[in-house]
Amino acid sequence: KQEVTQIPAALSVPEGENLVLNCSFTDSAIYNLQWFRQDPGKGLTSLLLIQSSQREQTSGRLNASLDKSSGRSTLYIAASQPGDSATYLCAVRDDSWGKLQFGAGTQVVVTP
């Protein structure tokens, strides 16, 4: 059974510092890995999707890497802003039906 772990569970950084969020998974036979952002009272917003054949994806200040063989993904957020405060979730798709296995998330606070 796939296990997805996110460390740390919570993170607080001053504005301007780079954020590094980690996600690990136990079964490397995945289709893809997706990073989501969750704001209180709102649904999940997809940030980046990395296919199993890819090593990284970038969107603006966000960069996500994938090392499938070691079962790890890292989300980098450059020059953090208070608006980046949210919970970040990673999820892996490891079957043909499209079901996702989620980590518990990292709660991020960026202080002005």
Partner 1 sequence: DADVTQTPRNRITKTGKRIMLECSQTKGHDRMYWYRQDPGLGLRLIYYSFDVKDINKGEISDGYSVSRQAQAKFSLSLESAIPNQTALYFCATSDPSLGYNEQFFGPGTRLTVL
- Nearest approach in angstroms of CB 43 to partner 1 is 4
Among 55, 99, 109, 111, binds partner 1 (CB under 8 A): 99
Find tokens 């999940």 and name the residue: 44
Contact characters 10-49, partner 1, x per CB under 8 A? ---------------------xx-x-x----xxxxxx--x
Cα separation values, 28 from 24, 67, 71, Å: 10, 9, 6
**Site stretch for partner 1 (CB under 8 A), options 14-22, 65-73, 76-84, 91-99:** 91-99
Q: What is the dihedral of CA 61, 82, 35, 23, to 10 degrees?
A: 100
